[in-house]
Amino acid sequence: MTHLSVNINKIATLRNSRGGNVPNLLKVARDLQGFGAQGITIHPRPDQRHIKYDDALALPEVLTTEFNIEGNPIPKFIDLVNRIKPDQVTLVPDGENAITSNAGWDTIQHRDFLIEVISEFKAHGIRTSIFVDPDEKMVEGAKATGTDRIELYTEAYAKFFPKNPKKAIAPYLKAAKLANTLEIGINAGHDLNLKNTAFFAKNIPQLLEVSIGHALVSESLYLGFENVIPMYLQRLS
């Protein structure tokens, strides 16, 4: 079964919009695990506009499942991750002013940098994953960095899924098959939702984990976390 890691950035965004501590991020993380989530993901950005560094430091107190921290490996981020030592760190090449992640790494151009960063995280016993587009060259480049996993950037899949699911998933299937051959673990995320997740999970071989935040939180406004988490788990089974 593919594991579900819930990205709680949007909970922090809602809290920060009013100040104070409502909704309580730690309670939401605890409850999501109680409802069946198999991991919690956060993506702190330099301006801390949603997840704050203090949140990242406090979350291990309530986590009983996998903790995945995403972000651009700037020095401050590297120091934070090494201090916390989460189960997994996912490297994302987002700019400081990016609204959301919008591209995977060029693992060929940034090979030496990624090798250095991944080596440091591995020295601290942290599993590593690189955010990549569904491009076989980028998967091959990821293998050369020594990363444990890749996370396939699924925005294009989600965009074209309503029109032609088979065509939408084709490049992801090629990338996944190559990753399997190269013995790199496969994660996926970005714009996956209740409508398109089952088809993706069914067709991508050895998909280990999906990270879902924006859609899951939006769907939960109508259906509630307690109902939505089992719905995703059913689609991933």
Report the range of poorest mean pLDDT among 15-29, 44-58, 89-103: 89-103
Catalytic annotation, pick one of 70, 151, 209, 219: 70
Catalytic residue among 50, 66, 151, 190: 190
Catalytic residue among 43, 50, 66, 151: 43
H or E element in which residue 158 lies: helix 155-160
Reported as a single tens digit per residue, the pLDDT across 139-161 is 999 999 999 999 999 999 999 99
Rg of the chain in Å (alpha carbons): 17
Domains and CATH numbers, the chain: 3-236 (3.20.20.70)
Going by pLDDT thresholds of 50, 70 and 90, the confidence category of residue 94 is confident
Q: Inform me whether the pLDDT recorded for 95 exceeds 90.
A: no
Among this protein's residues, is 120 annotated catalytic? no
Q: Nearest to residue 155, comparing CAs of 139, 177, 171, 137?
A: 171
CA distance 147 to 27: 32
Whether 214 sits among the annotated catalytic residues: the reply is: no
Q: Is 3 one of the catalytic residues? A: no
